């Protein structure tokens, strides 16, 4: 059996309640998959900052870089008022580990037990560039030469390399999804395999223009010839995404648009407790639920573990273990569809542990 070493970074709040569920899922995978897991517990977060003066210890970064194949990140709290010396460890981790893609699948499961905002199922993936665009954080402020007050500027940087890399992984994801849907149990077989390139190159002809033309070129590769490639300007993309989310398959976007679109898409599926993500790099893949540390429900044992459990699936998918990922996705979908163990965020009564146990039984 192949052994994968997984770093566990629970962080703060409910991160500490859902990451153990993620670990339990990995430990409970059927042995027929031929996978074994080794775990290493790692610190990060605001509580760690308060106790030791750093939110992201070097040891965490080094262990992830040198020892780990994958990682699971829970959530961290960020104080509302600026605290000297504190910066969010997740942003730093994405940079330090070169996690160039943020992949967020949004999928509804229709269940008698709870209502989703959308009555027909959504099944889409947003692939967000994770390293550049306005997030290079090169800002400056200077006096306005033409009047009182100041002028603030930020650099929006787009490169051929990062655009090609993100478009390529979006194409790979769409091709893989197309293959999955061809399996006999594929419920969405009628859906067209497609990548939608999002940009605003009608206004930003150089930056978004480069993103658009590079993505077009990358997705014209023979490997993607079975995919429909289309593009959409980001404002009308928001409109159509909210009006007709069922239409979309894979959406690829520069950093900022991807950030906004993916939070919007998460709202369409019903609860933050359902939405997973993977941060993908060349050397490591980090699964991460999209929600935060949820201080309002911390310590009550009612956090929905589904986002984290699905993030375990995402991590495995990008560690080239699609069968293991599918076992997890299917167990989650089945549990939600049957609707016996549903957590309070979806209107049910089940605890974190009960939802986890239900999914483990189905693996
Ligand atoms: P949040 O995601 O923590 O919570 C928003 C709402 O959703 C809350 O009512 C919460 O109870 C609910 N919720 C979230 N996850 C849930 C789950 N798994 N099960 C059931 N209910 C769930 O967002 P927030 O309240 O805006 O932020 C709280 C803290 O988390 C802040 O300090 C913020 O900075 C941090 N945060 C961290 C991340 C991250 O680590 N990536 C992301 C977002 C927010
Ligand atoms: Mn965001």
Using DSSP bridges, classify how beta strands 228-233 and 70-75 pair: parallel, antiparallel or unpaired. Answer: unpaired
Does the beta carbon of 293 sit less than 6 angstroms from any atom of ligand 1? yes
Does the beta carbon of 191 sit less than 6 angstroms from any atom of ligand 1? no
ipTM of the complex: 0.97
Task: State the Cα–Cα distance between residues 263 and 130, nearest whole angstrom.
Answer: 15
Alpha helix locations (H) across 182-321?
A: 207-219, 234-243, 255-268, 306-318
**Which of 7-21, 177-191, 260-274 is least confident?**
177-191
Question: Do 288 and 251 contact (CB within 8 A), yes or no?
Answer: no
Q: Which atom of ligand 1 is nearest to the CA of 307?
A: 18
The whole-number pLDDT of residue 91 equals 82
Among protein residues, the one with the nearest Cα to ligand 1's atom 43 is 292
Q: Is the pLDDT of residue 262 over 80?
A: yes
Does the beta carbon of 45 sit less than 6 angstroms from any atom of ligand 1? no
Q: What's the Cα-to-Cα distance from 102 to each of 86, 90, 281, rounded to whole Å?
A: 23, 12, 9
Task: State the Cα–Cα distance between residues 104 and 269, nearest whole angstrom.
Answer: 12
The whole-number pLDDT of residue 189 equals 57
Distance 293 CA to ligand 2 centre (A): 14
2-54 pLDDT, tens per residue?
899 999 999 999 999 999 999 999 999 999 999 999 999 999 999 999 999 99
**Range with top average pLDDT, 83-97, 186-200, 347-361:** 347-361
State the residue for tokens 């990358």: 218
The residue whose CB lies within 8 Å of the most ligand 1 atoms, and thus the one to mutate among 12, 48, 272, is: 272
Q: Nearest ligand to the C-alpha of residue 91?
A: 1
Distance 260 CA to ligand 2 centre (A): 7
Q: Would you state the structure tokens that stand for residue 45, as one six-digit string? A: 């977060």
Residue that wins the pLDDT comparison between 95 and 104: 104
Per-residue pLDDT band at 228 (split at 50, 70, 90): very high
pTM of the predicted model as reported, rounded to 2 decimal places: 0.92
Does the beta carbon of 116 sit less than 6 angstroms from any atom of ligand 1? no
Distance 104 CA to ligand 1 centre (A): 16
Q: Would you state the structure tokens that stand for residue 12, as one six-digit string? A: 């703060």
The residue whose CB lies within 8 Å of the most ligand 1 atoms, and thus the one to mutate among 294, 303, 310, 348, is: 294
Decide: residue 213, CB within 10 A, 0-12 exposed, 13-18 middle, 19+ buried. Answer: middle
Q: Nearest ligand to the C-alpha of residue 104?
A: 2
Contacts of 363 (CB under 8 A, 6+ apart): 25, 28, 29, 30, 327, 328, 331
Does the beta carbon of 75 sit less than 6 angstroms from any atom of ligand 1? yes
Task: State the Cα–Cα distance between residues 337 and 169, nearest whole angstrom.
Answer: 30
Closest CA to 273 of 342, 324, 327: 342
Give the 3-state secondary structure of residue 351. Answer: coil
Q: Nearest ligand to the C-alpha of residue 292?
A: 1
Closest CA to 52 of 43, 65, 62, 61: 43
Q: At what angle do helices 207-219 and 160-181 cross, to 10 degrees?
A: 40
- What structural domains and CATH numbers belong to the chain? 1-107+271-363 (3.40.718.10), 123-129+155-268 (3.40.50)
Distance 361 CA to ligand 2 centre (A): 33
Distance 260 CA to ligand 1 centre (A): 16
């Amino acid at each position: 059996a192949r052994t994968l070493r997984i770093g566990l970074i629970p962080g703060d709040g409910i991160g500490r309640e859902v990451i153990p569920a993620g670990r339990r899922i990995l430990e409970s995978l059927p042995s027929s998959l031929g996978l074994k897991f080794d775990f290493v517990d790692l610190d990060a977060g605001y509580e760690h900052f308060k106790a030791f003066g750093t939110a992201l210890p070097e040891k965490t970064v080094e262990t992830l870089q040198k020892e780990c194949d994958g990682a699971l990140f829970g959530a961290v709290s960020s104080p509302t008022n600026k605290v000297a010396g504190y910066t969010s460890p997740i942003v730093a981790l994405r940079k330090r580990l070169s996690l160039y893609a943020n992949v967020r699948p949004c999928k509804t499961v229709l269940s008698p037990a709870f209502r989703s905002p959308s009555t027909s199922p959504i099944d889409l993936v947003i692939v967000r560039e994770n390293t550049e665009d306005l997030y290079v954080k090169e800002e400056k402020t200077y006096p306005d030469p033409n009047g009182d007050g100041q002028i603030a500027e930020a650099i929006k940087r787009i490169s051929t390399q990062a655009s090609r890399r993100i478009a390529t992984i979006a194409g790979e994801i769409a091709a893989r999804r197309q293959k999955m849907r061809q399996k006999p149990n594929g419920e969405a077989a009628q859906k067209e395999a497609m990548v939608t390139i999002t940009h605003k190159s009608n206004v930003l002809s150089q930056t978004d223009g480069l993103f658009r033309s590079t993505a077009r070129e990358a997705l014209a590769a023979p490997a993607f010839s079975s995919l429909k490639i289309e593009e959409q300007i980001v404002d009308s993309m928001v409109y159509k995404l909210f009006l007709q989310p069922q239409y979309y398959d894979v959406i690829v976007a520069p950093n900022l648009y991807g950030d906004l679109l993916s939070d919007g898409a998460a709202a369409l599926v019903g609860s933050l407790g359902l939405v997973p993500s993977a941060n993908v790099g060349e050397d490591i893949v980090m699964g991460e639920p999209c929600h935060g540390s949820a201080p309002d429900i911390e310590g009550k044992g009612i956090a929905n573990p589904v986002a984290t459990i699905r993030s375990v699936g995402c991590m495995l998918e990008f560690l080239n273990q699609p069968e293991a990922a599918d076992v997890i996705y299917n167990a989650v979908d089945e549990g939600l569809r049957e609707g016996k163990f549903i957590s309070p965020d979806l209107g049910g009564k089940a605890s974190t542990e009960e939802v986890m146990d239900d999914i483990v039984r189905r693996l």
